[in-house]
Amino acid sequence: MNEPTHNAQPDLDQHVLDLLNGTIDGGLSAVETAELDKLLAGSIPARESYEELKALVGVLDELPEKVPPEYLYDAIISQVRLSVPDDVQVEKPSLFSTRLFGNWLSAPWMRTGFAVAAVLMLTIGIYRTGSENLSPEDTSSMTGTVVKNPNGVLLGSTRFNAEVMNGEVKLRYKDGFLSVDVRLESDGTAVVNLGFSGQELEYSGITGLQNTGADVAAANGSVSVTTRSGRQHYELLLRRTAELPQGESTLLILEFFADGVLVHEAELGGSR
């Protein structure tokens, strides 16, 4: 019998594939295991398939974990709001709360002990601090660092890829502004029109724009950015002039032109 080449494995029966996968995941009965052992002993394609499958699962299980960006945790914490029903009393945790430390820590003599310890530590701390000059590293570690979220809350995004232009736009709520983050790559002069008429928004500014050949024209309810060919990345900022009526969301209209020809239209929206 001709042995099959490695790259031309014959398709195996579904039942065989179920057995191969099942044994790798540790889910076969004794009877099924015996059946599979007999099959593997007598079939080269089955053995090859098994080895290949085992290798794939090994790689999948060992894929390295991606480390989230540094800013992400603080971004989440700073933006999350806890919705608490009206009938729930919000607990303000206390250092002497029995829930936190148990009954024995809330005893009066323990509270006195804590107070004395706190005074002692403060005294020692003041003495040590006063006895040496603080370096910039010391002061930065004392005040702590807050990693600001550079991205804000994502409200929506759009991406397109046309023959003469491709782009990606993300709408975010960031530091009290609506941020329209535009990335473009264009073969010709690119014009991006952003319309926000009737949205209780006003144009507040633009960052990241390379000035050479660029032009920004703002009108009531719209702003137009013209840039040269090539790669561009800039951020338009919009400020809210009034609260939106309840239940309504922001809706921005985007038009992309390359050398005067409309290439793409999109809408972006969000509830901020």
Partner 1 sequence: MHKGKDAALVNDCKRGDRRAMAQLVSRYERPVFNAAYRILGNVDDAADITQTVFLKVFEHIADYDPKFRFFSWIYRIAINESLNQVKKRCRQEPLAASQASPWRSPEEHLESNRLSNRVQGALMELNEEYRAVVVLKHMSGCSYQQISEILQIPEKTVKSRLYSARQLMKKSLRATDS
Residues at the interface with partner 1 (CB under 8 A): 7, 17-18, 21-22, 25, 27, 52-53, 56-57, 59-61, 63-69, 72-73, 75-77, 79-85, 88-91, 93, 151, 153-154, 157-161, 166, 168, 170, 183, 185, 266
Residues 6+ away with beta carbon under 8 Å from 237:
177, 178, 179, 180, 203, 204, 205, 206, 207
| Residue with Cβ nearer partner 1 (51 or 138) | 51
The 222-227 sheet, strands edge to edge: 215-219, 222-227, 190-195, 250-258, 261-270
259 touches 162 (CB < 8 A): no
| Residue with Cβ nearer partner 1 (66 or 128) | 66
| Residue with Cβ nearer partner 1 (106 or 158) | 158
| Residue with Cβ nearer partner 1 (17 or 218) | 17
131 touches 220 (CB < 8 A): no
| Residue with Cβ nearer partner 1 (91 or 243) | 91
d(CA 143, CA 155): 33
| Residue with Cβ nearer partner 1 (147 or 217) | 147
Taking the complex as a whole, the smallest distance from the CB of residue 252 to partner 1 amounts, in Å, to: 15
Q: Can you spell out the DSSP letters for 23-49?
A: HHTT---HHHHHHHHHHHHH-HHHHHH
Taking the complex as a whole, the smallest distance from the CB of residue 144 to partner 1 amounts, in Å, to: 15
Which of helix, strand or coil describes residue 104?
helix
d(CA 145, CA 164): 44
Taking the complex as a whole, the smallest distance from the CB of residue 89 to partner 1 amounts, in Å, to: 8
Longest dimension (CA), the chain: 89
Taking the complex as a whole, the smallest distance from the CB of residue 168 to partner 1 amounts, in Å, to: 7
Taking the complex as a whole, the smallest distance from the CB of residue 269 to partner 1 amounts, in Å, to: 12
Taking the complex as a whole, the smallest distance from the CB of residue 215 to partner 1 amounts, in Å, to: 24
| Residue with Cβ nearer partner 1 (165 or 201) | 165
Q: Can you spell out the DSSP letters for 142-201?
A: HH------SS-EEEEEEEEE-SSEEEEEEEEEETTEEEEEEEEEESS-EEEEEE-TTSSE
Taking the complex as a whole, the smallest distance from the CB of residue 13 to partner 1 amounts, in Å, to: 12
